[in-house]
Structure 1
Amino acid sequence: MNIVIRADAAVQIGSGHIMRCLVLAKELTNQGYSVSFACRRQPGDLIGLIQRRGLSVVELASPVINEVNLTPNVAVESNAEADYAASWLGVSWQQDADSLLAQIKDVDLLIVDHYGINIEWEQYVRNVLDCKLFIIDDLLRLHAADLLLDQTPMREDSAYVLQSTIKRVLAGSDYALLADNFAPIRETIMHRHVTTVQPRVLITMGAMDLPNATGKVLEAFLQLPADDRPQITVLLGQHAPHYQVVKKYIKVLGNKAKHFDYVENMAEIMVQHDLAIGAAGTTALERACLGLPSILIPLADNQRAICNNLVAANAAIYLELDEITTKLTVQYAFLTANLTEFRARNLVLCDGLGVKRVLVELNGLLSYLPSTLGLRKATHDDIEQVYNWQIQPQTRQYSPNPQSPSWLEHQVWMQNQLSNAEHFFYLIIDNVSNLNLGVVRLNRIAQCEYVISIFIDPSYYGQKIATRALAIIDIIHRDVTIHARVMQDNSASQQLFTSANYQQVTSEIFIRAPIK
């Protein structure tokens, strides 16, 4: 099947949209899909990087530049959304759509990650191409899509409930598109010790950092006595407009600072540090995944929702750009004194498996016989529902503890499960009816090793729900070993795990090795 991704990078819009789409493109090509990009060539584009990753790029028509002020010559209405289109697309939505349609004919799925593209573009292009449409956005705008992803932390799909033109919404950081090495590295650092005597600080404000937040942060640290300055690592691309200014600050800091233009493996760099100071795009979720506490400095309005939500979760500190000089070192001292607590709260927010969950959804969207079954992370709102299942005689029959828990015992147990970043607690759901069908849990027992527990609402026995849920687990959690304990007289469950390619190693123990 043919998939096209419409996204751009540029000096004024940054690189984040392309980078997260490259993460998704890698997963899709590994599944055997044909993936290409459609981009506009402009200063700061990442077309060369996309091509080096082995993906083809359709280059869209360049904007007509006004020679007087060197801005795109686009006639648009005077409103916020039109302004986005003007500054991000460089052409009108109609010109952009026509340029795409002139070069793209056969598409099964069109993925759009672009603040300059609106619902009119989506309706027009989908009508011509007759394809599925997957939108990645976080601005709570109107869309016409088969599937929409909004990876803002703590965002709920109810935010889009009034949009009948969106068939299904994936909301929250459970679906964050992080590179595939974040989850494995997270497995290795769940119990790591953090340094509070002289913390290692990572400064990452994006590839361009137009307002020079990096320089302002370095200047603030230079106000500290030399012995009190942390060890600093700066990430900033050589095309950034303030690159040379930052290099001068690095030189003044001497052996207290080092600088990289670009790193291939962001996860490995992050785990070498104890806290970060950075912008609030996808990198804020990467840091949360690895338990790296942050001082967040929003560099664009679209980053404020992430900032506000992470602060509300008490997982980050939020500074405005104009507060760096006066407040940064004070907030740095506060964060340093509370690293352990901030780290724990970050780990709960994002597990790094979002791209696997999105892949499950896209496989279903592109399948001729799509399954309506899905998994979602359980919440505190599900405690009573799960209790009602737990006390059913059919559920207790083969449980290691046949005695039903009390309501209080169950509440304490499930709240502990939900707050533990090492475990996965899913509800099995029907995506069409939104009915809850059962539970599947993975409890971590060692690095990359989990014990699975699964039970189904007795009302839905006989519908192979457990079999289908295990198939989804194999996609999301393919890189770990999973153990299952099944009582010998529970023949149905023994057959379930045998059919799911778990190896029976004793009369009651089944193991599924990592899937290569």
Structure 2
Amino acid sequence: MRVIIRADGGSNIGMGHIMRTSVIAQKLQEFSEVIYVCKKGNEFENGIQYLKKQGYEVRETDRVNIISDLSLLKGNCLITDSYDIDEKYFALTKDIFPITGYIDDLNQYKLNVDFVINQNIYAQDLIYDVCTNTQLFLGPQYALLRDEFLNPPKNRINKNIKNIIITLGGCDTQNLTGEIIENLYRDFSDIVFHVVVGPGFRNTELRKLELENVKLYYNPKMVEIMLKSDLAISACGSTLYELAACGIPTIGVIVAENQKRAALKMKELGIIELAEEHSALKQAIKVLDYNKRKKMSQYLNKLVDGFGAKRISEEIYSLLTNGDK
């Protein structure tokens, strides 16, 4: 069998689509060949190089020829994770591939696909315009997390905050990471800040901020840093679900428009604190005392179990081996 994944990542759009599809791709490789189709160009080079380092075959295309290039691959299934689509795209690709699926965040189009994946906490609140037989895999039980987040040890909540992880995704085009470090490290000199530098970071000046209480990590095993942290300052993308799997109390920072809905829903449910302005981070750290962090951790532990990718791969396998298809 052959599964085609259509996704992009890079310096401007971030690495979220690449990172989460690579999680499901790893599971799909247990029973299928996996090929990526990515847009070519300097903007998307970070995503392409990341995938190649992971061992995936990547076919590069341009926006004009995406449909024709997809049709040449003769796959059994196409999974799309991109905002650069419309209803015409879904109609055309449904004619090419026996099974099609879409990884969604926004619910903007009528989706002519066999399955929809939306891992976000608000997903079950949405009403999808889909075909009668379309399967919906909605909510954090389908969160696409790496195997390191399968039932990790439960985080111990300490009385005082001694370690904070700062993680703003695979790219940081606005240099928010540097701004946050400079805003916090002096006032919280008794706290060690563990700063994750993503593969698409372009700010080389971050190294100058590495101090006794500021440590930088390049391509780390995330679960290890999370589990030694008392608190996280995180972008409000997929990392929120990784932190939830570890039970890490979190202050969310919205770094993209498509993160607002999940961030506000989690804030409403008391699962995370939200700093909508960077100036609010100091106050957010101060108000998150032991009892508040303990309560947040308990909520987070119930949200995600880390088996989302396994559930999705089993569902896709079932669709691919269905005799009616």
Q: TM-score, structure 1 length as denominator?
A: 0.59
Q: Which amino acid aligns with 1:7?
A: A
Instruction: Name the residue aligned to 2:34.
Output: 35
**SS at 1:255's partner residue?**
coil
1:444-468: CA deviation from partner (whole Å, max 9, x where unpaired): xxxxxxxxxxxxxxxxxxxxxxxxx
Instruction: Name the residue aligned to 1:122.
Output: 90
1:51 lines up with 2:52 in the alignment: yes
Q: Which amino acid aligns with 1:291?
A: G
Q: Which amino acid aligns with 2:102?
A: I
Q: Which amino acid aligns with 1:180?
A: D
Change (3 A) 1:222 1:50: closer
Q: Where in structure 2 are the equivalents of 1:466-505 lying within 5 Å?
A: none
Q: Which amino acid aligns with 2:213?
A: K
1:243 lines up with 2:199 in the alignment: no
Match of 1:176 among 138, 143, 149: 143
Match of 1:342 among 289, 292, 296: 296
Instruction: Name the residue aligned to 2:164.
Output: 201
Q: Contact 1:148–1:166 at 8 Å: present in 2 too?
A: no
Instruction: Name the residue aligned to 1:355.
Output: 309
1:161, CA displacement in angstroms? 4.3
**How large is the Cα RMSD of the aligned pairs?**
1.9
Change (3 A) 1:225 1:60: closer
1:2 lines up with 2:2 in the alignment: yes
Q: Where in structure 2 are the equivalents of 1:266-345 lying within 5 Å?
A: 266-320=222-276, 323-325=277-279, 327-337=280-290, 338-345=292-299
Instruction: Name the residue aligned to 1:11.
Output: 11
Equivalent-residue separation in structure 1 for 2:232 and 2:180 (angstroms): 11
1:96, CA displacement in angstroms? 2.5
Q: Report the count of equivalent residues.
A: 320
Q: Contact 1:8–1:45 at 8 Å: present in 2 too?
A: no
Equivalent-residue separation in structure 2 for 1:9 and 1:297 (angstroms): 20
1:231 lines up with 2:185 in the alignment: no
Instruction: Name the residue aligned to 2:214.
Output: 257
1:56, CA displacement in angstroms? 1.1
1:140 lines up with 2:107 in the alignment: yes
Q: Contact 2:164–2:231 at 8 Å: present in 1 too?
A: yes
Q: Where in structure 2 are the equivalents of 1:368-407 lying within 5 Å?
A: 368-369=322-323
Equivalent-residue separation in structure 2 for 1:291 and 1:179 (angstroms): 16
1:163 lines up with 2:130 in the alignment: yes
Q: Which amino acid aligns with 2:309?
A: V
Equivalent-residue separation in structure 2 for 1:166 and 1:119 (angstroms): 17
1:317, CA displacement in angstroms? 0.9
Structure 2 gaps of 5+ residues are none
Instruction: Name the residue aligned to 2:25.
Output: 25
Instruction: Name the residue aligned to 2:70.
Output: 100
Equivalent-residue separation in structure 2 for 1:230 and 1:289 (angstroms): 23
Equivalent-residue separation in structure 1 for 2:191 and 2:245 (angstroms): 23
Equivalent-residue separation in structure 2 for 1:49 and 1:359 (angstroms): 22
1:149, CA displacement in angstroms? 0.4
Q: Contact 1:37–1:57 at 8 Å: present in 2 too?
A: yes
Equivalent-residue separation in structure 2 for 1:139 and 1:257 (angstroms): 36
1:53, CA displacement in angstroms? 2.3
1:210, CA displacement in angstroms? 1.5
Runs ≥4 residues deviating over 3 A: 161-166
Equivalent-residue separation in structure 1 for 2:182 and 2:61 (angstroms): 41
**SS at 2:232's partner residue?**
strand
Structure with greater contact order relative to length (CA < 8 Å, sep ≥ 6): 2
**SS at 1:45's partner residue?**
helix
**SS at 2:224's partner residue?**
helix
1:35, CA displacement in angstroms? 1.1
**SS at 1:14's partner residue?**
coil
1:238, CA displacement in angstroms? 6.4
Q: Which amino acid aligns with 2:146?
A: A
Q: Which amino acid aligns with 2:300?
A: N
Q: Which amino acid aligns with 1:217?
A: I
Q: Contact 1:278–1:295 at 8 Å: present in 2 too?
A: yes
Equivalent-residue separation in structure 2 for 1:166 and 1:17 (angstroms): 26
Q: Contact 2:102–2:113 at 8 Å: present in 1 too?
A: yes
1:166, CA displacement in angstroms? 6.9
Equivalent-residue separation in structure 2 for 1:199 and 1:110 (angstroms): 46
**SS at 2:22's partner residue?**
helix
Instruction: Name the residue aligned to 1:113.
Output: 81
Residue identity over aligned pairs, in percent, reads 27
Change (3 A) 1:2 1:12: same
1:367 lines up with 2:321 in the alignment: yes
Q: Which amino acid aligns with 1:247?
A: R
1:363, CA displacement in angstroms? 1.7
Equivalent-residue separation in structure 2 for 1:52 and 1:202 (angstroms): 26
Structure 1 gaps of 5+ residues are 62-90, 371-516
Q: Contact 2:7–2:18 at 8 Å: present in 1 too?
A: yes
1:140, CA displacement in angstroms? 1.0
Change (3 A) 1:166 1:223: farther
**SS at 2:46's partner residue?**
coil
Q: Contact 1:144–1:165 at 8 Å: present in 2 too?
A: no
Change (3 A) 1:149 1:166: farther
Q: Where in structure 2 are the equivalents of 1:441-456 lying within 5 Å?
A: none
Q: Contact 2:150–2:307 at 8 Å: present in 1 too?
A: yes
